[in-house]
Structure 1
Amino acid sequence: MDMLDFGSPRQTYDIRVEYSLLYECALGIGAFTWDEVHDKLDIGQAQVLQIKRQMSEALRREVSLAGLHHTWRSVLFLIHRCPYLPSTTQEKHLPVFMDWLKEIKDSIRTEAAPYLGASYQAPLAAALAGNALDMQKLLDEHHENPVIYQNLQYLFAVSAEQLLDHIKRLVEGWYEEVVSRDRNVVATLEQSAAQTSALSQNVSHEKLIHTVTRGGEFVAEPGVTTLWLIPQVSYRPFTIRNHLPGYAVYYYPVDPDAQTGLDKNRLISNIAAKHKAVGDVLRVRLLELLAASSRSLAELAQAIGASKPSTHHHLLLLRTAGLVHVDGGVYGLNVDEVLALGEELCRLLKLDGVKAAQETSQGR
Structure 2
Amino acid sequence: MDIIHSTVRKRKSYQVEVKYSILWECALGIAAITNEPLHETLERPISYWDRVKSELPASLLRELEYVQKHNTWKGLLQLLHELNEPTLDEFINFIKTRSSFELKYHCLPFVGEEFQEFRERAAKGDDQALDELKKIAADNPFFPAYMAFIVHTDVKELTNHLVEVMSQWYEHVVLADTKETEAILQTDYEAKIKMQNQLGVEAFVQWATGGISYQPEPHVYSVLLIPQICYRPWSIEADIEGKKVFYYPVSNASLRPGDLYASPDFLVQKYKALGDDVRLKVVKMLSEGDRSLQEITEQLALGKSTVHHHLKLLRSAKLVEVKEQKYSLKREALQLMNKELEEYVERQH
Structure-2-length-normalised TM-score: 0.69
AA matched with 1:135: L
Aligned to 1:25: 26
Residue 108 of structure 2 corresponds to residue 113 of structure 1: yes
AA matched with 2:121: A
Equivalent position SS for 1:251? strand
Change (3 A) 1:2 1:12: closer
In the TM superposition, what is the alpha-carbon distance from 1:10 to its structure 2 partner?
4.5
Asked if the contact 1:228/1:250 (under 8 Å) is kept, the reply is yes
In the TM superposition, what is the alpha-carbon distance from 1:186 to its structure 2 partner?
0.5
Asked if the contact 1:240/1:251 (under 8 Å) is kept, the reply is yes
In the TM superposition, what is the alpha-carbon distance from 1:132 to its structure 2 partner?
2.1
In the TM superposition, what is the alpha-carbon distance from 1:149 to its structure 2 partner?
1.3
Q: Which has the larger radius of gyration?
A: 1
Q: What is the rounded CA distance, in whole Å, between the counterparts of 1:5 and 1:202 in structure 2? A: 33
Aligned to 1:95: 89
Equivalent residues in 2 for 1:215-226 (5 A)? Answer: 215-226=211-222
Equivalent position SS for 1:116? coil
Asked if the contact 2:113/2:219 (under 8 Å) is kept, the reply is no
Equivalent residues in 2 for 1:325-344 (5 A)? Answer: none
Equivalent residues in 2 for 1:64-79 (5 A)? Answer: 64-79=65-80
AA matched with 1:95: D
Judging by fraction of residues, say which structure has more helix.
Answer: 1
Q: What is the rounded CA distance, in whole Å, between the counterparts of 1:62 and 1:262 in structure 2? A: 37
Q: What is the rounded CA distance, in whole Å, between the counterparts of 2:12 and 2:3 in structure 1? A: 26
Q: What is the rounded CA distance, in whole Å, between the counterparts of 2:5 and 2:159 in structure 1? A: 57
Between 1:164-173 and 1:101-110, the stretch displaced more is 101-110
In the TM superposition, what is the alpha-carbon distance from 1:2 to its structure 2 partner?
5.5
Residue by residue over 1:255-280, the C-alpha shift from the partner in whole angstroms, topping out at 9 and shown as x without a partner, is: 122222579xxxxxxxxxxxxxxxxx
Of 119, 125, 130, which aligns to 2:125? Answer: 130
AA matched with 2:130: M
Asked if the contact 1:68/1:150 (under 8 Å) is kept, the reply is no
Q: What is the rounded CA distance, in whole Å, between the counterparts of 2:3 and 2:42 in structure 1? A: 55
Equivalent position SS for 1:178? helix
Change (3 A) 1:45 1:6: same
Change (3 A) 1:245 1:177: same
Change (3 A) 1:114 1:4: closer
Q: What is the rounded CA distance, in whole Å, between the counterparts of 2:31 and 2:98 in structure 1? A: 24
Task: List alignment gaps of at least 5 residues for structure 1.
Answer: 264-364
Task: List alignment gaps of at least 5 residues for structure 2.
Answer: 260-349
Asked if the contact 2:14/2:216 (under 8 Å) is kept, the reply is no
Asked if the contact 2:122/2:129 (under 8 Å) is kept, the reply is yes
AA matched with 2:54: R
Residue 81 of structure 2 corresponds to residue 80 of structure 1: yes
Asked if the contact 1:188/1:262 (under 8 Å) is kept, the reply is no
In the TM superposition, what is the alpha-carbon distance from 1:238 to its structure 2 partner?
0.7
Of 177, 180, 187, which aligns to 1:184? Answer: 180
Residue by residue over 1:317-354, the C-alpha shift from the partner in whole angstroms, topping out at 9 and shown as x without a partner, is: xxxxxxxxxxxxxxxxxxxxxxxxxxxxxxxxxxxxxx
Asked if the contact 1:62/1:166 (under 8 Å) is kept, the reply is yes
Equivalent position SS for 1:81? coil
Residue 247 of structure 2 corresponds to residue 251 of structure 1: yes
AA matched with 2:252: P
AA matched with 2:172: E
Asked if the contact 2:60/2:165 (under 8 Å) is kept, the reply is yes
Aligned to 1:235: 231
Equivalent position SS for 2:81? helix
Structure-1-length-normalised TM-score: 0.66
AA matched with 1:146: P
Aligned to 2:342: none
Residue 59 of structure 2 corresponds to residue 58 of structure 1: yes
Identity %: 27
Paired positions, count: 256
In the TM superposition, what is the alpha-carbon distance from 1:139 to its structure 2 partner?
2.7
Change (3 A) 1:49 1:225: same
Aligned to 2:328: none
Change (3 A) 1:2 1:99: closer
Asked if the contact 2:43/2:233 (under 8 Å) is kept, the reply is yes
